[in-house]
C-alpha cells in the first residue's frame, strides 16, 4: 500500500514530453532580402502568386460589396408603393 502511494506521488513530478523537438531553419534573412529588393514590385505582391491571388480576391470582394451596399441603399431610399 505504501509503495502504491509513493509511486502516485512521483507521477506528477515526471515531465511529460510527447511532442518531438523540431529545429526550424531561420528564414528571416531570406525574407528580408526578398522584401527589401528594389524591383518596382509593390511589397504586398512580392510574396508570389498567392499574394497576387489574395490581393485580387480582396479587391473583387471590396468592389462587389460596395456595389451591393449602394444597391441596398438605393432600394431603401425608394420604397415600393403600397396599393
Q: Domains plus CATH for the chain?
A: 41-77 (4.10.91.10)
Q: Which helix (H) or strand (E) holds 79?
A: none
What is the per-residue pLDDT across 30-65, written as a single tens digit (0 to 9) for each? 999 999 999 999 998 898 999 999 999 999 999 999
Q: Which of 12-21, 43-52, 63-72, 74-83 has the highest mean pLDDT?
A: 63-72
Residues in the chain: 83
**Is residue 18 scored above 70 in pLDDT?**
no
Residue 70: name the closest of 81, 59, 82, 78 by CA: 78
Kindly report the CA angle at 63 between 60 and 64, in degrees rounded to 5?
Answer: 80
Amino acid at each position: 500500500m505504501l509503495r502504491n502511494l509513493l509511486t502516485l506521488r512521483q507521477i506528477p513530478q515526471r515531465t511529460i514530453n510527447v511532442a518531438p523537438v523540431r529545429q526550424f531553419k531561420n528564414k528571416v534573412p531570406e525574407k528580408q532580402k526578398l522584401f527589401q529588393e528594389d524591383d518596382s514590385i509593390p511589397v504586398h505582391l512580392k510574396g508570389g502568386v498567392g499574394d497576387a491571388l489574395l490581393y485580387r480576391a480582396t479587391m473583387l470582394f471590396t468592389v462587389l460589396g460596395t456595389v451591393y451596399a449602394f444597391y441596398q441603399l438605393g432600394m431603401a431610399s425608394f420604397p415600393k408603393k403600397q396599393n
